[in-house]
A = this chain, B = another copy of it.
Amino acid sequence: MAKLDASVQELLQGKNFAFVSTVSADGSPHVTPTWVDTDGDYVLISTGLGTVKQKNAKRDPRVTIAITEQANPYNLVIIRGQVVEQISGSSATDLLDKLTKRYMGMDRFPDRQLASTQVTLKIKPVRVYTRKM
């Protein structure tokens, strides 16, 4: 398990987007931008049940994530990791609400039906690459 340095944690806890890549069933690559968080050790992605990345990560847990700082796109972190757990239930809803607050400035995610079926992808970092310009 790779360590997330303070500067990496800062990027993951800022209003920045993580571009999450997974591999689809036909072996082709998939990538999509998402909100992101960290508990200090793991990378946390909030996604809907049934999205391509959720299903891909179920079949093959290997993911690679590229995050750049919104204010400086040359401040880059790339994390190769493994989805060790897919968490549903109230803690997944809580994460979505926390991220809605951070990214949208709203107290909670407006669609409570959708919020109740949210899934947290808990990602163990295996390799971390950083580049700052």
Contacts and interface: CB of A to CB of B under 8 A. Distances in A.
A4 interface: no
Interface of A: 17, 19-23, 27-33, 60, 62-66, 68, 70, 73, 76, 78, 80
Contacts of A76: 33
A56 to B, nearest CB: 9
A72 to B, nearest CB: 11
- How many copies of this chain sit in the oligomeric assembly? 2
A64 B33 contact: no
- Mostly, the A contact residues are strand
Contacts of A27: 23, 27, 60, 62
Given A21-B21, A23-B23, A73-B17, A66 B28 contact: no
A65 B21 CA distance: 10
Contact of A78 (B17, B28, B32): B32
A73 B29 contact: no
B31 A31 contact: yes
Contacts of A68: 17, 33
A64 B70 CA distance: 21
